[in-house]
Structure 1
Amino acid sequence: MRYLALIAAMLTLPAQAQPTATGDLGLVIERATGSVLLIDQSDRAALARIDGLGDLSHASLVYSPDQRFAYVFGRDGGLTKLDIVTRQIAGRVVQSGNAIGGAISDDGQLVAVSNYDPGGVRVFDAETLEMVADIPTGGKTIGLVDAPGRRFVFTIWDSGETWIADFSGTAPEITKIPDMGRNPYDALITANGRTYITGLFGEDGLTALDLWSDDPQPIRVLPGYGRGQQEMPVYKMPHLEGWADAGSEFVLPAVGHHEVLWIDARTLKETARTQTHGQPVFAMARPDGRHVWVNFAHPLNDTIQVIDTLSKQVIHEFKPGPAVLHMEFTPRGHEVWISVRDANKVMVYDTQSFEKLREIDAESPSGIFFTARAHKTGL
């Protein structure tokens, strides 16, 4: 009887959910269908497709610190919270008419979105997606990143200003830094949160800020680079968020030229240039910094080049397929996952042998985001 009573008691206990690990997962943006593909690194496989995310023609995302939730920033102003454990949408708000990316605070409590229409930055509670701050800027807002100390940094295309929004107190404090340059189009922040660099479309060169300074002032980087050369049409703006931190140097895609630029990370002075196959879009360093992988704008966007960071020479070139849009390294860099939009494939390559390991079907794939990004500043 005692045995039967024990069995009966066990049957009345609530069922325990199976634990789900998310550290090996990632999401692929499927830009044409408003969906994302949940992927597994170790199995090199797609696990699920999640629909209903709106216009993802220029989309990005960030992760919560526990790597469970993804916040997807859509072109249509949609901010969508995804639960990658349940594989469902956990919340969604259309917060503007046209958005261009976002960031999550270092404590994981705030999600910020930068907007083209109506401009400015809107900040939301990461748990509820309720808006906690609306920061109008009077222009298109780009280059939004998180910075240490519950801060967001962003730049305005129209005015050439960079703003720092500090949310560490009871109300946000805004610091405005003018004279960053004409028509800044994108920006990056270094992994230690110290240096913010914005690229300029309206003039040659870049501008940096030292965020460790009590009074950050614009620092001109490569002023006048490309002057005196025949300028080429810009088919696609390069993405500074796909910059390379190769040890003691930054590697940045040049605007309107077939080259990448090497900059000393300490002095911000140019150290070299490498001629490339086409106009670079992403120049991304393998996590150990040994190689930089570069893809290119239309019409030369079927090609990837690999550059050695010691010799600064191209050591490998191959053609994964039509419209290579994005690359993402596994956290330790043993593989790289590449979205090939017009082949409707995500392709996985060994970064040492350059051997193709797997192809995964995807609908017009673009951005690839592994959950390891949850623990990196600026990603």
Structure 2
Amino acid sequence: MKPLLAAGLLFMALCAPPALSANPATLYDTHCQACHGPGRMGAMAPALLPQSLERLRPAEVESVIRNGRPATQMAGFAGTLSDEDIRALAGYLAVPPSSLPDWSAADMAASYRVLVDPARLPPRPVHSANPQNLFVVVEAGDHHVTVLDGDRFRPVARFASHFALHGGPKFSPDGRFVYFASRDGWATQYDLYSLQVVADVRVGLNTRNLAVSSDGRWVLVGNTLPETLVLLDANGLRPVRTLPVRDREGRVSRVSAVYDAPPRKSFVVALKDVPELWEISYDPAAEPIYPGYVHDYKMGEGIAVPGYLNPRVTPLELVLDDFFFDPSYRHVIGASREGRAQVINLDIRRKVAELSLSGMPHLGSGITFVRDGRRYMATPNLKGGLLTVVDMESWQTVKDIVLPGAGFFLRSHENTPYAWADAMMSPRKDTLALIDKRTLEVARTLTLRPGKTNAHVEFTRDGRYALVSIMETPGELVVVDATTLREVAALPMMKPIGKYNVFNKVTRSEGTSH
């Protein structure tokens, strides 16, 4: 070949546009579908829908595709796919499918698994730890759960969970069973006596959370895809009933959250897209629900239905995205994403007060406490770096306490004078603020691991020790003496996003979320 021609061809090759990458849908079908299922609905691996991946930043999705995920079967594709293909595939996963997939009763029934006959479970714990002082630790870094002895601070068990558990597992009234909900729709029952999974069932494609009835009989799961509530038998998770979530005009709504209201023997349901509040009684003696309080499309608008396991509807002025209960469970304190907050009386089924809460309050992380004979609630602000204290008799804001930065979690205990707030959503993510509940001032700040996310405090049953998550991969669980504030233990963990003490949860401690 002549030198001039060779040089010309080389120039053309260097200047030519790169070869087009494969279509992202084709990439998915070739490399992902075998594990993650047709339509990205999940199979042996989790669903890859935007709702399921909402907690992962785009860069994290690309990293998992490129490098895989430790302690799972997810292999990395760095040697198989180009960076351009990986970016294209990550972008494809962030877009909803052209037609939303459905999850039918038949799909649910096919997914249902009983791993251990509940009738054959041992009557007593097979371990020596105090069952009332166990912690359940959710590790998001590699999708595992650790059961921790709260007296010795030693792991009792560790097991693989479904993908992206919701951070708030719920317990049976006696504390024996813990129930989990994963973002991609799985509900799981785990026995803390025998340390094994009892049953699980996939109730949807994207799940918000679940609640357990105070009589230990029911589990109610709220979904965002499909828009349903699913009622399960708590003893083995057998599906019992599916309720479509629609308002009076037939508009569909996702479920924002499901809560148990023990004194009322009912579930309370927050809706994400319509201004309604639902209460579902599990009291067999519940009074019938009359026109104006129910819409039941099978029976017809305005026809009275049994009060047992049917939704009683309270119309609202706005959509409430986050909830908090007063200790009597007569009042729901709810906030919209825009920061408006209201107090709803569940007995008379209407708003009784407006709250002055700036920014975006995180009521789901609120606490209550008594000061000078009066009951107060406190809630962190997801944007403003403030902790708002509200008098629960007058419903007036008493004080906005300035924190080191915007945080997510607030925790306390009856036996400590301090409320612990993190600043995990700010540049000072490594700083915890200890607010004196007597003076409503920041008494001191604490940094256990500089430069790392120090967050989500939970106390032992007696309030003597505070457990702090270092939310990193790898991370730690740091145990602090709640009086001296000295570190007494540290356990390696894989991004522990939350830990939950059995006793504090089942007794509804005023210092923790319910």
TM-score band by shorter chain is 0.7 to 0.9
Gaps of 5+ in 1: 1-14, 232-236
Q: 1:239 to 1:324 in 2, by over 3 A?
A: farther
SS in 2 for 1:26: strand
Work out which of the residue numbers 395, 409, 423 in structure 2 matches 1:268: 395
Instruction: Indicate the residue corresponding to 1:158 in structure 2.
Output: 273
1:374 aligns with 2:506: yes
Gaps of 5+ in 2: 1-121, 246-251, 285-305
SS in 1 for 2:321: strand
1:109 aligns with 2:195: no
Equivalent runs, 1:316-335 vs 2, <5 Å: 316-321=444-449, 322-335=452-465
The one-letter amino acid of 2:493's match is A
SS in 2 for 1:292: strand
* Pairwise CA distance, 1:157: 1.5
CA-based RMSD of the aligned residues comes to: 2.3
* Pairwise CA distance, 1:150: 2.5
CA shift digits 1:111-134 (9 cap, x unpaired) = 111222122321210002112222
Q: Are the aligned partners of 1:163 and 1:175 in contact in 2 as well (CA < 8 Å)?
A: yes
Work out which of the residue numbers 133, 155, 178 in structure 2 matches 1:70: 178
Q: Are the aligned partners of 1:301 and 1:324 in contact in 2 as well (CA < 8 Å)?
A: yes
* Pairwise CA distance, 1:238: 5.8
The one-letter amino acid of 1:349's match is V
Work out which of the residue numbers 336, 344, 366 in structure 1 matches 2:466: 336
- TM-score normalized by the length of structure 1: 0.86
Q: Which has the higher contact order (CA 8 A, sep 6+)?
A: 1
Aligned partners of 1:244 and 1:67: how far apart in 2? 21
Report which of the two has the higher share of helix. Answer: 2
Q: 1:82 to 1:19 in 2, by over 3 A?
A: closer
Q: Are the aligned partners of 2:133 and 2:151 in contact in 1 as well (CA < 8 Å)?
A: yes
Instruction: Indicate the residue corresponding to 1:302 in structure 2.
Output: 430
Q: How many residues align?
A: 350
Equivalent runs, 1:1-379 vs 2, <5 Å: 20=127, 21-51=130-160, 53-56=161-164, 58-137=166-245, 138-147=252-261, 148-169=263-284, 171-182=308-319, 184-202=320-338, 204-211=339-346, 213=347, 215-223=348-356, 225-226=357-358, 239-247=362-370, 248-288=375-415, 290-299=417-426, 300-321=428-449, 322-342=452-472, 343-372=474-503, 373-376=505-508, 379=514
SS in 2 for 1:60: coil
The one-letter amino acid of 1:219's match is V
* Pairwise CA distance, 1:338: 1.1
Q: Are the aligned partners of 1:34 and 1:54 in contact in 2 as well (CA < 8 Å)?
A: yes
Q: Are the aligned partners of 1:150 and 1:167 in contact in 2 as well (CA < 8 Å)?
A: yes
CA shift digits 1:219-253 (9 cap, x unpaired) = 34324x44xxxx7xxxxx76423212121110011
Q: Are the aligned partners of 1:347 and 1:360 in contact in 2 as well (CA < 8 Å)?
A: yes
Aligned partners of 2:172 and 2:123: how far apart in 1? 24
The one-letter amino acid of 1:185's match is D
Q: Are the aligned partners of 1:29 and 1:367 in contact in 2 as well (CA < 8 Å)?
A: yes
Aligned partners of 2:196 and 2:324: how far apart in 1? 31
SS in 1 for 2:350: coil
Aligned partners of 2:125 and 2:381: how far apart in 1? 48
- TM-score normalized by the length of structure 2: 0.64
Identity of aligned residues (%): 21
The one-letter amino acid of 1:353's match is T
